[in-house]
Structure 1
């Protein structure tokens, strides 16, 4: 009788082991056995995409921060093209740039997102930095020009330094972690009233309305 009980127990243990082994091989609902990959984020485009021989790369990504294309530039001519009305909504430089003439950010751009009403979100971004896949800033750059006029609505300059005077003609312009070594002039009261800069940004000169 004792031997029979031992035999039954052994069979039960073997049966449980077999079912456990099969269960481990099955894919649970809502899980995946395929390793997940990460798409580079917006500012990481500067390090992930690099630049072409002409100094500009149009890099497409499906991340929330860069649904449409971005211009990655490393020279003055490519930068001027990227900030024109025929450019892209994100312009990222990969090194310090000096442009010895007045420049302007022109055109209205959509960032590929929708607002709560389902309308396209308007945005323009000048990125003066590089960033890795974990969104850690790896480099900051300086853009120099005598005068930089901001004509694109909902625009911002982010994470770098601009040397020169900014002229803002549109509302809701922003400085994000950016230093302006110069003045910020607004062509309208509305442009000045809606201007924003975070606690990490700094303007060394004046901030005033100056109609042109």
Structure 2
């Protein structure tokens, strides 16, 4: 008898939460003391095969991965020690869609319980992703169009990789973003979206500035390296040779809103027309290519040029600071 009752509760929960596939997209319903047949929505069968109901961190990470489901629903608070990455393209009713629904609801679609997801970051790479009905504690990094927040709270910042992503986002009036929404995480991002790297750790930064990297690397936090940071390879932007490291965030008017620090034993610049802008580098910089630039930046160390010609080609803006020497070495 106990087994039968448990089965009824589980089936009822699954059926009620998939109401999102009817005309009005909705999410999980708390278990009711009825039989599954009495509450089954018209599209429940389609939803069952493409949704995940989770109660723990690893299952949530899997559900929102590229191998996951279009809809992930949680039935309790979940705390992660790693980033929550939303990626992959999924469909609902023949439209691109992705959703995280940390709540339960009654038969009238009223939210009955709302849950909290805590993680260092949520990184959104899926188009048309919606966060609805719960709370996320941490910053959200949006790297796709159509991001949505509905009847939800974000206790952190929302960073958009480009102004276009920010313009495509929809934040409902009943949602609360406790900190800032920041568009264009990297300078010139609207021009560079297909050829830029947004990084948050040392290995990713090293890769982004390697010969196999991108013309533009932007960081969203302080990064400390124990090895040299080597900038090499030839890249172009707008048909001109260019390379850039931008450890800062900016608003829609290109005003710097957050500036970050890169620490390394050395930065070795082998790429022509390399610009370091908007942040601080702690360590010495060795310049081996023409066109080195510093703009609205600080070097807490020395800048050494491989030749006088390379030094003469460098451009250091009036608002750039070098605490050590600038000389040929």
TM category, shorter? 0.5 to 0.7
Contact 1:47–1:131 at 8 Å: present in 2 too? no
Runs of 5+ consecutive residues of structure 1 not aligned to the other structure:
1-43, 51-58, 114-119
1:104-143 matches, cutoff 5 A:
104-111=230-237, 113=238, 120-143=239-262
Query: Equivalent residue of 1:87, what SS?
Result: coil
Larger RCO, structure (CA 8 Å, separation 6 or more): 1
Aligned CA distance change for structure 1 residues 62 and 140 (closer, same or farther; 3 Å): closer
For 1:78 and 1:195, locate their aligned partners in 2 and report how far apart those are by CA, in whole Å: 27
Aligned CA distance change for structure 1 residues 62 and 167 (closer, same or farther; 3 Å): closer
Select which of 161, 166, 171 maps to 2:280.
Answer: 161
Higher strand residue share: 2
Select which of 48, 64, 70 maps to 2:160.
Answer: 48
Could you tell me how far 1:149 is from its partner in structure 2?
Answer: 0.4
Moved over 2 A (4+): 44-47, 61-64
Aligned CA distance change for structure 1 residues 62 and 96 (closer, same or farther; 3 Å): closer
What residue is the counterpart of 1:71 in the other structure?
197
Could you tell me how far 1:62 is from its partner in structure 2?
Answer: 8.0
The total of aligned residue pairs comes to 150
For 1:149 and 1:62, locate their aligned partners in 2 and report how far apart those are by CA, in whole Å: 24
For 1:198 and 1:102, locate their aligned partners in 2 and report how far apart those are by CA, in whole Å: 25
What residue is the counterpart of 2:131 in the other structure?
none
Deviation string 1:58-99 (CA, Å, 9 cap, x unpaired) is x9x9834x2642100000010011000000000000100000
Contact 2:161–2:189 at 8 Å: present in 1 too? no
Query: Equivalent residue of 1:165, what SS?
Result: strand
For 1:208 and 1:91, locate their aligned partners in 2 and report how far apart those are by CA, in whole Å: 26
Query: Of the two, which has the highest radius of gyration?
Result: 1
Query: What TM-score do the two structures reach when normalised by structure 1?
Result: 0.66
Contact 2:267–2:286 at 8 Å: present in 1 too? yes
For 1:174 and 1:75, locate their aligned partners in 2 and report how far apart those are by CA, in whole Å: 23
Deviation string 1:115-161 (CA, Å, 9 cap, x unpaired) is xxxxx211001001011222121100000001000001111000110
For 2:293 and 2:307, locate their aligned partners in 1 and report how far apart those are by CA, in whole Å: 15
Query: What TM-score do the two structures reach when normalised by structure 2?
Result: 0.43
What residue is the counterpart of 1:149 in the other structure?
268
Contact 1:47–1:132 at 8 Å: present in 2 too? no
Alignment root-mean-square deviation, CA: 2.3
Select which of 84, 88, 92 maps to 2:218.
Answer: 92
Contact 2:195–2:215 at 8 Å: present in 1 too? yes
Aligned CA distance change for structure 1 residues 122 and 68 (closer, same or farther; 3 Å): farther
2:209 equivalent to 1:83: yes
